[in-house]
Each structure stands twice: as C-alpha cells, then as structure tokens.
Amino acid sequence: MSRGNWNAIWTEAFFDELARVGVREICVVPGSRLTPLVLAAVRDGRFRMFSILDERSAGFFALGIGKASGRPAVVITTSGTAAANLYPAIIEA
C-alpha cells in the first residue's frame, strides 16, 4: 500500500475518533505543513472549521467553544514552538 493510502486511512480514523468523542469544531492556524490534514477535515464534512492566524488566539477560541457548548474543540497547528503558544489556554481550561 502506498504512503498516500496510509495517510488517508489514518486521517479518516483520526477524524472518526474526534467525531466519536463529540468534537464538532476545529480551529486551524494556517500553515503549509497542515494542508493535507486540513483538506481531509474539510472533505470529511462533520466539522465546522475556523481559520485563526495566531496559536494563542486559537487556543482561547477553542476554549471558548468548549465552555459555551460543553464539547471539546480541536486546534490544529504546526509543530515545534507553535504548540507552546497553546499552553496559556490549556492552563486556563
């Protein structure tokens, strides 16, 4: 099986699990590394997508969604130090 097929299988399983645990909203901090994952989420059709330009803002936006709806929200961001900018919202939660 090709690498592309495995990626498709794993992203489908990932989004199935997110939907199973109640996720309906995904906050995306745009970046070229994320394109395949974001396109898969859009194609999936079960999620409302929000594009937010800053990781810290995305974290607090997702926190607000969670507090308002009682459901978890997901933030998709790039690797490395970008993820550290989510910590203030995680601590606040």
Q: Residue 73: which pLDDT band, with cuts at 50, 70 and 90? A: very high
CA–CA gap between residue 47 and residue 19 (Å, rounded): 8
| Cβ atoms 15, 47 nearer than 8 A | yes
**3 Cβ neighbours under 8 A, 6+ residues apart:** none
Q: Could you give the number of structural domains in the chain?
A: 1
pTM of the model: 0.88
CATH at 74: 3.40.50.970
Domain that holds residue 16: 3-92
Q: What is the pLDDT of residue 4?
A: 64
Exposure of 92 in the CB half-sphere (CA atoms within 13 A): 15
For 11-60, write each residue's pLDDT tens digit: 899 999 999 999 999 999 988 888 888 989 999 999 999 999 999 999 99
Tokens representing 91 are 């601590």
